[in-house]
Amino acid sequence: METTTQPATPDGAAYAATDRTVPTRARERATYDRAAVHAILDEAYVCHLGFVRDGAPVVLPTLFGRVGERLYVHGSTGSRPLRMAGARGDERADPGLPVCLTVTHVDGLVLARSAFHHSLNYRSVVVHGIARQVTDPDEKRAALDALVDHVVPGRAADSRPANAKELAATAVLRLDLDEVSAKMRTGGPNDDPEDMDLPYWSGVVPLRKGYDPLVPSPDLAPGIEVPGYLRDL
């Protein structure tokens, strides 16, 4: 049976920079601060999981969850990345699946006087590593709870957990947060001095995440009230 020991949180407040996590452009926007990386990950609903299949790149959008220094993604046992991870219950014999996982938040549209300097204010995280299937039942259940709670905190305890049949049909990949970086842009446009007098509007269109009123299921049983964790959204 594979080990389920959660890796200890590394000493220090930052991830170590590597050749793959140092950007080639705008290096001043990169950060390896652990708290900043976690905050960007925890606010995102969807990640993009990239890997190579039959010599060609594949990128899939998927839900994910974080537990300490690990990320979990799930899917059908027949999905390509989960089949390719090829867990055999022995991590020493299982090379796993090399992946690159990313998340991005767009915080603003940056409109400059010149087309060249248009940009976005954003926060992003890139994770490189080896993804492996989770075979330990307890870790798998905890990972699925984390996936549900990542979407709406508190929801896992307020819903029926997966039964044996559903667990058998679901595979989970684990990716440790070892080789990680974040990158951010804030502020206004970087107009060239010679363009400052051009007659074009320049500035930032801020974007924000919001929620509309809840839409209850039409077959909801009478008397079931909206739980507090949904009101808190």
In the predicted structure, residue 79 carries a pLDDT above the cut 70: no
> Per-residue pLDDT averaged across 35-59, rounded?
95
CATH number for the domain formed by residue range(s) 27-231: 2.30.110.10
> How high is the pLDDT of residue 94?
62
> Per-residue pLDDT averaged across 122-140, rounded?
94
Alpha helices in the chain (DSSP H): 34-43, 80-85, 137-151, 164-168, 228-231
Please give the share of the chain, as a percent, with pLDDT higher than 70: 87
Tokens representing residue 39 in the block: 């905050």
Q: The pTM is what?
A: 0.85
> How high is the pLDDT of residue 28?
84
How far is 231 from 225, CA to CA, in rounded Å? 10
Tokens representing residue 4 in the block: 């389920």
Name the amino acid, one letter, at 38: H
Assess contact for 131 and 84: CB atoms under 8 A. no
Q: What are the extents of the domains in the chain? A: 27-231
